[in-house]
Amino acid sequence: MIQVLFFAQVRELLGTDKVAVPASGIHTTEDLRAVLAAKNEKWGKVMTSDKLLVAVNQTMSNWDTVVEQGDEVAFFPPVTGG
């Protein structure tokens, strides 16, 4: 399984802070995003946002980052501070 975490507005829009996804057939963060987007229309809209950021095992990543069984992947919006 891949542990998937959602933060900030992404969590609020999806109504959950985490899900577990079977690793079978998922090779990259983009593959994982596509699987999650296919859940339903709401998930599709959130997961295909061009403002969505991703981290794998607490390291900022790109959409072609390889993911494996046991990884933790986090999705979140851009963060600004003051």
Domain boundaries along the sequence of the chain? 2-76
Alpha-helix residue ranges (DSSP H) falling in the chain = 8-14, 29-37, 41-47
Residue 79 pLDDT level (bands cut at 50, 70, 90): confident
- For residues 35 and 22, the answer to whether their CB atoms sit within 8 Å is no
DSSP 66: B
Structure confidence by residue, pLDDT tens digits, 61-74: 999 999 999 999 99
Tell me if residue 16 falls in helix, strand or coil: coil
Distance of alpha carbon 20 from alpha carbon 45, whole angstroms: 20
pLDDT(80) > 60: no
pLDDT(32) > 70: yes
- Domain 2-76 falls in which CATH fold? Ubiquitin-like (UB roll) (3.10.20)
Structure confidence by residue, pLDDT tens digits, 1-28: 999 999 999 999 999 999 999 999 999 9
pLDDT(81) > 90: no
pTM for the complete prediction?
Answer: 0.93
